[in-house]
Structure 1
């Protein structure tokens, strides 16, 4: 795509942040519920159901219909696309998938203007004769590619009945993955070199300066390398792309399963195209107002607004309590004493001296305090990782107490730590996660972030400091998508919408689930009693209810409760290992969601 001049954008960046005492040096450096059964409802239940429907209809009718009318007019101006499906390459693992690419309007106000490439894949329904339609999916982020997710996880993530009757569709949202991605340097190596000099998050003034220098270099890189892509990558435009694909695929209405950030995308679609919804499953929710920063009375950084500091801290405490409960026979961390005391002492030592452990090739793997907090946050995303996380903390504890012995030991670093070290070297541009920058509000001033992180850390130790910095890059990207949707978020979807929240979720805390659900006229909330980010593959109960909803349009009762069948600190079965692969395929965007 055509690149625009970088000069006005650099001037805008400098003007936006001139005079900041914290930023100026950096610029210089740059130079268990049950399924409701209609057949067995009592007369009272029937009346309650009728009352609920009447309430939902009244709530839907109260929503301003002008938004949906405007979007319908925009959509009608774009011709129905033709999709040509081909193979996804020579890899035998992809033989059962089909791939395609289409050109969508870059700006839906200019339907015959510039275009943006949207790449997608599908796993065709295994029973074509019983096919219902297409199940659209989004794995979250923002910034996680949907094509790769479906290739790696579709078979494990959805039940055989869903896969029999739906084509499972994954697409890379505009600006992400292979869909005209927002990149921030000419090459991955150049951006990786900048990231390598930055701490994962800063904990003191010196680190703050280094972190800010690197962040500004990233921002200038994004603004100079991909300005044309940045200003059209809002979730609203992604939702418009989804509706365009729905029409091209011949689906009369949208069936969608969104995870994490994908719930925000689902809420956006519901607001813009409420009459086009067949079924929505929204698992691990982000309250739109918090994510987009549209509440003028809440000036906190984005990661704090959405509750990731609270969610991380609560899940961490639950992990430690569960370890103590099962004891040393099942949790190695308990062999060293009280798990919380051991881990807190370890984290205190890491603040002043990193741990070093030998990798399989003999090179030392260095883990700082910030590295360890980030690792913990990442691995709290699933109970499938709890045992390995405990083993890793034990290895770090040993290394910090006897560093020479650890270096001389023939034992390699634990697998989780080796994987973490490798993943830090893999690269996907931070620009892929810039949706929040161009569609939301970043009310906090750059120079205030270190102070805000310390305040957040007092409230939610370790994770407050870490998650403060999620949207720091946005402070230096003065670009907004004029076609972004910023509310109102109450919508007029008439179909029941399934919303799922897990009791201990670090990325999207459970407390956000009911407020999110109440944006819909007829929400059906499922609470999963357990641990982790999202319910896919770890709750057979939730999977069954999602299947019945997607296939038969039988929505569960609101306030249904499900248990997890995957328990922490238990030996993994072959199915559990496949589930762990699905969780890893979800990845994490800059927001870790």
Structure 2
């Protein structure tokens, strides 16, 4: 429902998601926010200490993979001025390299000069499910600092199962509309049954579309694809900037190929040692933290609809928002949508959570809430929800949420196996967030019905022998809580923690001159920040 989201910018600018179903049905699926206020540590009782360590692969290329590593990319025009596109082949199954290929879409914008060329800079905006090619063409290839674009070929590849790379498809537009409106705060057994039916229908649709591909879209496999791309580009080492889920890809790459790590920036980091339920619980706390920051700002504004009758505290604002959600549960609002959709509680929750990714969206959220709560007009919140799901005006959805579930449900065992397990966990999730806890708990049930068994597990990533890796954490990040970045930086043998003291999801390119200057210096000169450097 909710998902480990992509790093959202430019709509807000990048994009990021979590680890459950699609938005509300995808909201929980994004990363998961911390219920615990403490950080993961390397103490004997911590998840990092208990998790197995990701083992590096042999440095020599297996003979079965030689044809993939030796391929040459055929660059061609792809319709966007200044960009070239190519197709990369990778084995569907790395254990059976001769059993078939997946074909991956690659895009590039060549270094503009002047100055010494530094090779390729691979970028990924997160997800899982976010299109790296779209991100490159819409933002990174034109919005990254000129001095970076002058010295690097800017490159992106859509991961297997995503966008242009043999995308997973699960539901048609009308089916997805119904799915996104499913009630994720069930009041009785009938509504629980309806939610379970929605999850099963979503999973069955994905399984029918790509039964074999669904077994091979894991983060480990995508990281291995990145190494084939590195070789095809002619680079000895990988230089990479990954945001949100993109940090999982970058960290996994470092763990598998530590000797091939060049300059890696992992912004909005995810802790790979955590099981899925802890991830979801942590993200729940993260969204609560973000909401409190929004509410504190909102109640200072005269037009804030969460003020109610004399309510001027974030806590009271939260109660007013929860009461509004309950009214929507009983009576959805009109939206003027051409397809007849009304604003349900689930769509409103998704719209609010979408705005938590970037404080630049707070004004839009305040206006949308004002229209809904004061004028019975749900159009603004519906628009925020649609942007989260990547639904266009014609009722078509991108494959973001389908790929998101496919990767998340393969990477880790499900958070919950039954509705009974969710019920037992509800008090903990509500304690983490009075506003979002119940919805995010139920949203974490979606992987229980997935048609493919998980192949991954929580793992500690050390990447011994790797060059310095910059791990960036934002102190009030709603989607990737700050303590995840601290934990990952401690796990990595060469990790350098860079902290942004602020709001929103991820830090690079969000207006902090200190953060941007530090990362640019690292990318251009190879000089990492001192571990623990802080910026605001």
Q: If the TM-score is normalised by the length of the shorter chain, which range does it land in?
A: 0.7 to 0.9
Asked whether the equivalents of residues 517 and 523 of structure 1 are also in contact (C-alpha less than 8 Å), the reply is yes
Deviations 1:391-450 (A, max 9, x none): 222222203xxx4xx6xxxxxx66564453575544134431111212211252222224
Q: Distance in 1 between matches of 2:352 and 2:256?
A: 37
Normalized per residue, the structure richer in helix is 1
Match of residue 166, structure 2, among 156, 165, 180: 180
Asked whether the equivalents of residues 157 and 536 of structure 1 are also in contact (C-alpha less than 8 Å), the reply is no
1:356 aligns with 2:345: no
Q: Which runs of 5+ in 2 are unaligned?
A: 1-51
Residue in 2 that maps onto 1:584: none
Q: Distance in 2 between matches of 1:157 and 1:335?
A: 41
1:371 aligns with 2:324: no
Q: Secondary structure at the match of 1:381?
A: coil
Match of residue 205, structure 1, among 167, 178, 189: 189
Q: Secondary structure at the match of 2:333?
A: strand
Residue in 1 that maps onto 2:513: 540
Report deviation, 1:470. 4.7
Q: 1:421 to 1:474 in 2, by over 3 A?
A: closer
Q: Secondary structure at the match of 1:556?
A: coil
1:432 aligns with 2:422: no
Q: Distance in 2 between matches of 1:366 and 1:328?
A: 28
Residue in 1 that maps onto 2:498: 526
Residue in 1 that maps onto 2:155: 169
Q: Secondary structure at the match of 1:102?
A: strand
1:500 aligns with 2:472: yes
Residue in 2 that maps onto 1:323: 298
Q: Distance in 1 between matches of 2:360 and 2:191?
A: 33
- After TM superposition, the structure 1 stretch with the greater mean CA deviation from structure 2, 470-479 or 501-510, is 470-479
CA RMSD of aligned residues (A): 2.9
Q: Distance in 2 between matches of 1:162 and 1:308?
A: 32
Q: 1:201 to 1:259 in 2, by over 3 A?
A: farther
Q: 1:191 to 1:166 in 2, by over 3 A?
A: farther
Report deviation, 1:287. 0.6
Residue in 2 that maps onto 1:118: 104
Q: Distance in 2 between matches of 1:239 and 1:132?
A: 22
Q: Secondary structure at the match of 2:266?
A: strand
TM-score, normalisation: structure 1: 0.73
Q: Distance in 2 between matches of 1:178 and 1:523?
A: 33
Q: Secondary structure at the match of 2:273?
A: helix
Deviations 1:48-85 (A, max 9, x none): xxxxxxxxxxxxxxx98963327744755744111011
Q: 1:71 to 1:344 in 2, by over 3 A?
A: farther
Q: 1:449 to 1:316 in 2, by over 3 A?
A: same
Residue in 1 that maps onto 2:433: 460
TM-score, normalisation: structure 2: 0.80
Q: Distance in 2 between matches of 1:122 and 1:415?
A: 36
Asked whether the equivalents of residues 348 and 382 of structure 2 are also in contact (C-alpha less than 8 Å), the reply is no
Q: 1:202 to 1:159 in 2, by over 3 A?
A: farther
Q: Secondary structure at the match of 2:241?
A: strand
Q: Distance in 2 between matches of 1:70 and 1:170?
A: 24
Q: Distance in 2 between matches of 1:65 and 1:302?
A: 19
Asked whether the equivalents of residues 298 and 306 of structure 2 are also in contact (C-alpha less than 8 Å), the reply is yes
Q: Distance in 2 between matches of 1:321 and 1:65?
A: 42
Asked whether the equivalents of residues 357 and 504 of structure 2 are also in contact (C-alpha less than 8 Å), the reply is yes
Considering only CA atoms, is the larger Rg found in Structure 1 or Structure 2? 1
1:515 aligns with 2:501: no
1:557 aligns with 2:527: no
Q: Distance in 2 between matches of 1:148 and 1:418?
A: 21
Q: Distance in 2 between matches of 1:208 and 1:275?
A: 49
Match of residue 381, structure 1, among 357, 362, 370: 357
- After TM superposition, the structure 1 stretch with the greater mean CA deviation from structure 2, 329-338 or 536-545, is 329-338
Q: Distance in 2 between matches of 1:446 and 1:394?
A: 37
Deviations 1:448-499 (A, max 9, x none): 22443454123321222232245433211252465x5753422214311111
Q: 1:104 to 1:432 in 2, by over 3 A?
A: same
Asked whether the equivalents of residues 117 and 151 of structure 2 are also in contact (C-alpha less than 8 Å), the reply is yes
Report deviation, 1:126. 1.4
1:234 aligns with 2:218: yes
